[in-house]
Amino acid sequence: MRSSKKIPTLPMNCTSFGLFIFRYAEYKEMTLEEVARGVGIQKQTLSAYMNGTRYPKIDVYLAICEVMSDTREEYNMLLMRGIRSTGENALAERRLRIKEKHNKNDNQ
């Protein structure tokens, strides 16, 4: 038996942040068009966020998380997952690890 559900196509050149949006929208059975419409942005703008050519301002990021959430707990989880999926977060974590290592060595 063939399913009538359309298999979503992963947008090209997706960043880890873009994959986060794509995968969670797929999990919620939402299209990227529905996410963009719910946030009040164009699909092209959402695509730009997903491929890293643009980054959403904080209010747009919060709206993306809200549109894909049904509960406050889910919203809070999406906020943290989205932030953790960014390259900027990875760089900050790396800098903090180095800083902790230096502080540990200074205290010995």
Each residue of 18-71: pLDDT tens digit? 999 999 999 999 999 999 999 999 999 999 999 989 989 999 999 999 999 999
Q: What sign for the dihedral angle of Cα 26, 72, 35, 10?
A: negative
Class of residue 63 by CB neighbours under 10 A (exposed 0-12, middle 13-18, buried 19+): middle
DSSP string spanning 65-89? HHHT-SSHHHHHHHHHHHHHTSHHH
Phi, psi of 56 (to 5 degrees): -75, 145
Q: What is the pTM of this model?
A: 0.79
Length of the chain: 108
